[in-house]
Every structure is written in structure tokens, then in C-alpha cells.
């Protein structure tokens, strides 16, 4: 059982399901990706990127029984030629949706998602183009159902 794949689905479904005015999916026009944008896609900004930041650590009880998995993900909104301030509304909405989130899916039980920290990264310039990102590192506690 891979709780990590289930967690990536949970994050994606949570953000993609936030539709309507001011929803994450609406604000990024459905551009929510796990790990990277799909090959062959012309990237349009802003977009949301979900990526693992550490190996998932098993939490075990007495004996070999895994009780849950503890893992970190970086979830951020990436913009091109924009300021971090231009991404704030999307980042705030992601924070609202994920802080203390939990639930049961077909493959996992998400016990709790908590913001671990929010890195303050400077803009990057590549081939004369400015890129910014704003988001947070999220710790999740996950169980197989």
C-alpha cells in the first residue's frame, strides 16, 4: 500500500475540487500538477505544484505494525513575471483548504495536515524571465484504511 500516492490524490482532489469564485481551481484555471507539468504541455502561469519534500516515515506500534505514515509535501503557486503579492490570494486559499484538513478516501485516511513552515524564496530569473513562487511545506499524517 502506498499512502504517499493516496496523499497526492487527496491534495490534488482537495485543490481541484475548490471551484467557483475565489477557488484554487478557478484562480489557476485547472493548472494543478503533481511533481511537474505533464510532458508536451505548454505551461501557462500561475499554476499550483504539489511535490514530496521528504521520504515518508513509518510510525510503528509495538512490533512491526505500521500505525501511520508521516510525510512532508511542498505545495506552492508558481508565477511568471509576477510578484509574490500577485500570488497571495491563491496561496491564502490553499492554506485555508489544507490547514487541519483530513478525511477518508478510497485508498487512505488523512488524519491531519498541518503547515510545517513557509519558505521565503527569492525570485529566480531564467533567460531573462522572472519566476516567483509562494506556498508552504505541509506535514501529513496518513493511514491505510
125: which residues sit within 8 A by CB, 6+ positions away?
131
**What CATH number is given to the structural domain containing 78?**
3.30.2000.30
Q: How confident is the model at residue 87 (pLDDT cuts 50, 70, 90)?
A: very high
Cis peptide before 10 (omega within 30 of 0): no
4: left (phi over 0), alpha (psi -120 to 50) or beta: alpha
Question: Over the range 64-98, which residues count as b (16 or more CB within 10 Å of their CB) and which as e?
Answer: eeeebbbbbbbbbbbbeebebeebeebbebbeebb
Number of domains into which the chain is organized = 1
pLDDT score for 57: 78
Total-model pTM = 0.91
pLDDT score for 15: 98
pLDDT at 82 over 80: no
In angstroms, rounded to a whole number, what is the distance separating the alpha carbons of residues 102 and 7? 10
Q: Which domain holds residue 19?
A: 3-143
49-74 residue pLDDT tens: 999 998 787 887 887 788 888 999 99
Amino acid at each position: 500500500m502506498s499512502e504517499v500516492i493516496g496523499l497526492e490524490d487527496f491534495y490534488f482532489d482537495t485543490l481541484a475540487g475548490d471551484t467557483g469564485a475565489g477557488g484554487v481551481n478557478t484562480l489557476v484555471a485547472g493548472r494543478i500538477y503533481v511533481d511537474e507539468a505533464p510532458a508536451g504541455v505548454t505551461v501557462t502561469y500561475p499554476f499550483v505544484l504539489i511535490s514530496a519534500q521528504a521520504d515518508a516515515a513509518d510510525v510503528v506500534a509495538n512490533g512491526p505494525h505500521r500505525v501511520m505514515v508521516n510525510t512532508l509535501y511542498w505545495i506552492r503557486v508558481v508565477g511568471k513575471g509576477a510578484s509574490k503579492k500577485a500570488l497571495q490570494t491563491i496561496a491564502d486559499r490553499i492554506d485555508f483548504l489544507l490547514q487541519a484538513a483530513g478525511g477518508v478516501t478510497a485508498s487512505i485516511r488523512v488524519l491531519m495536515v498541518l503547515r510545517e513552515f513557509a519558505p521565503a524564496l527569492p525570485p529566480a530569473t531564467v533567460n531573462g524571465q522572472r519566476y516567483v513562487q509562494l506556498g508552504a511545506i505541509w506535514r501529513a499524517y496518513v493511514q491505510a484504511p
